[in-house]
Amino acid sequence: MIYRLGELFCGPGGIAWGALNADIGNPEFRIVHQWANDYDASTCETYRHNICSDAPQTVYHEDIRKFDMSKLADIDALAFGFPCNDYSVVGEQKGMDGVYGPLYSYGVAALKRFKPMWFLAENVGGLRNANEGKAFTKILNELRESGYTITPHLYKFEEYGIPQARHRIIIVGIRDDIDVTYHVPSPEPYSGMDNSCRHAIEVPPIPDDAPNNELTKMSKQVVERLGYIKPGQNAFTAELPEHLRLNIKGAQISQIYKRLDPEKPSYTVTGSGGGGTHIYHWSEPRALTNRERARLQTFPDTYVFQGSKESVRKQIGMAVPCKGAQIIFEAILKSFAGIEYPYVEANINE
């Protein structure tokens, strides 16, 4: 079975790369691109360039709230990483009351319209707590009522060999009339992998001509400040001289001017970059390049991001790690192919 994938809120293509590269050793079970949608122009260009350069017209740059889904081709599978701004722990956690909170409903509408055989939905771990947990319950109920048996799980991608501590809720749904059961793939097969950020960034070395690898200019003060911050420390845990301390009242965010610990996975790659929220190299007094950030997200060096440097930073930060998505899609394909694989129980009780 070849599954035609439609994708809403597609981002730069982390989910799509994982889907198209999912391989279970049986070419009869694979996923192909059908169409995608995102509201950001540069993000759509990145997706077109890397995922479907032979069919650029299948990526629709439109606001989902004004998007006419009736013009879309039929699909067998749907993916939607609906915007997380209102559910993020870093954000204000407005949940359903925010601008982005209700956008999941367009994924529900697509399920009802196209009735795909299965779907994958993704959001941040903070989704469980938004609106005192009511938002998550509402979303799960609506997905279930659309005709799907769902398996929500908080995936900790560093447990799957990804060089980044990135925790995301991913909901896999299989249509009720299909006699297939999805299980959460076990992280055990990946336990021996070197997923340190040093290994991810340095092995193999990034080619000199790699795209999106330009350095960010650092002010003299930032360079001096980083000189006092040891690997794994941030601006609040390091011993800084008075003139380099941050005069910030309220929350002391642990990622401000935080240097990577080279022997551990990176902390979460985000789309932000101002005010000391770049990810900082463990030994060189600088922020990571976008290509280094992309490696932490397991994008191949051949993946070319389109747009300004700031846009590329945001695109990389919003993406699902390519190889993390691939692991989940391979588990879905194995479920449909009747191939057993090691699994764990879902860690979210519905």
Residues annotated as part of the active site:
84
What is the residue type of 249?
K
Collect all residues with Cβ–Cβ distance below 8 Å to 306 and sequence separation of at least 6: 42, 45, 46, 49, 312
Partners of 79 in beta bridges:
7, 120
Measured CA to CA, the distance from residue 152 to residue 142 in angstroms comes to 13
For 132-201, give the DSSP string: GGHHHHHHHHHHHHTTEEEEEEEEEGGGGT-SB--EEEEEEEEETTS-----EEPSGGGTTS---HHHHH
Q: What are the Cα distances from residue 161, in Å, to 124, 157, 191, 323?
A: 19, 7, 7, 9
What are the tokens at 165? Answer: 């501590």
Separation in Å, CA 294 to CA 187, 214, 300, 326, 343:
22, 13, 8, 16, 28
* 100-138 CB burial, b ≥16 within 10 A, e <16: bbbbbbbbbebbeebbbbbbbbbbbbbbbebbeeebbeb
Q: Residue 38: how many CB atoms within 10 A of its CB?
A: 25
* Cα dihedral sign, 267-269-272-273: positive
Torsional sign, CA 137, 138, 139, 141 = positive
Q: CA 49, 7, 297 angle in degrees (round to 5)?
A: 60
